[in-house]
Every structure is written in C-alpha cells, then in structure tokens.
Amino acid sequence: MRNQRLFPGMILLGFGAYFFLQQLNISLLQPLYSWPTLLIIVGIAFLIQGYGAKDYEAILPGVILTGFGVHFHIVNRLEIWPDHIGSFILIIALAFLLRYLKTGAGLFQGFLFLILAVLLLFYDTILGWLGILQSSVSTAWRFWPLLLMVAGLFLLMKKK
C-alpha cells in the first residue's frame, strides 16, 4: 500500500517545497525558480519510486527527467558542459544502462544510445582521425544517418 503512495507523495512534497521557496523569494535560490527544477523534482520522484518501491521501470523516466533538468540548469553556467544533442542521447543511454542493472533489460538499447552519443559528441574529433582517409570516407560519412534508419527498419521488421 505504501508503494502506491510514494510517487504522488514525493511529487506533492517536491512541488510544495518548490512553490514555498519561490514565495519566500530567497535571492540565493533565484536561479532554481525555473521549469528545469520542476523536471528534476518529477525525475527524483520517479527515481525514489524506482529504487525505493522496487518499481524498477520508473528508473528510466527518472534518470531522463532528472538528467534533462540538470542539463538545462548547467548548460549556461559551465563552459565545459556540452550544449549538444549528444548530451541528451548520453542521458538516455545512462537511463537504459541504470535500468538494465536492476531489470536485466535494455542493455542493447543502452549501448546503442551510448555509441550514438559518443559519435555525436566527438564528431569533429572522429572526422579529424579520418582525415587521412578523407576522400573516400567523407562521402560515406555524410550518409551515416541512413545506417541508423536501416538498423531501425531491420529491428522493426525482424521476427522473433
């Protein structure tokens, strides 16, 4: 019975604290009065539901929402933080891998997203490494999204 009330209880507690602190208008907390904080609150509630109530499927949305919220808070404050689509895919990969640790499902998706994130985040570096093979590889490299589409179609059409 307690497990069914854990997630909504955490949401109400988190939102209540958020709006109460917003009404107090503490200047030190001013950067936290934004929508990414609400994403973090919902994400943490999912994580508490996932780990606390042993509802391990809640880990995936918990990590994604918390990660996206943290990303949006940090992206304009830290120079080293990447403002790139690869960072979102990396957060999704982390979510699948953390869920895999508890459920045993999602390892393939986690590694697939991890490889895609690394390719996107280090695209310029990879192109630099391929500079020696620039002439033959550059044309093929432009079509790598088609490889993703073919792999997706293969997974959709593949029968068990």
Q: DSSP 3-state helix, strand, coil percentages of the chain (rounded to 5)?
A: 85, 0, 15
> Is 87:111 a contact under the CB 8 Å cutoff?
no
For the chain, domain boundaries: 2-121, 125-160
Mean model confidence pLDDT for the chain: 87
Q: Is the pLDDT of residue 132 over 60?
A: no
CB 10 within 8 A of CB 44: yes
Per residue in 80-118, pLDDT (tens digit) is 888 889 999 999 999 999 999 999 999 999 999 999 999
Give the pLDDT mean for 115-128. 82
Q: Label residue 1 by pLDDT band (50, 70, 90).
A: very low
Q: What is the pLDDT of residue 136?
A: 57
* % of residues, the chain, pLDDT over 90: 55
DSSP conformation class of 142: T
Comparing CA positions, the residue from 55, 44, 58 lying closest to residue 11 is 44
Is the pLDDT at 62 greater than 80? The verdict is: yes
Q: How far apart are CA 64 and CA 58, in angstroms?
A: 10
Q: Report d(CA 146, CA 160) in Å as an integer.
A: 24
Query: What gap in Å lies between CA 35 and CA 69, rounded to an integer?
Result: 8
- pLDDT of res. 90: 96
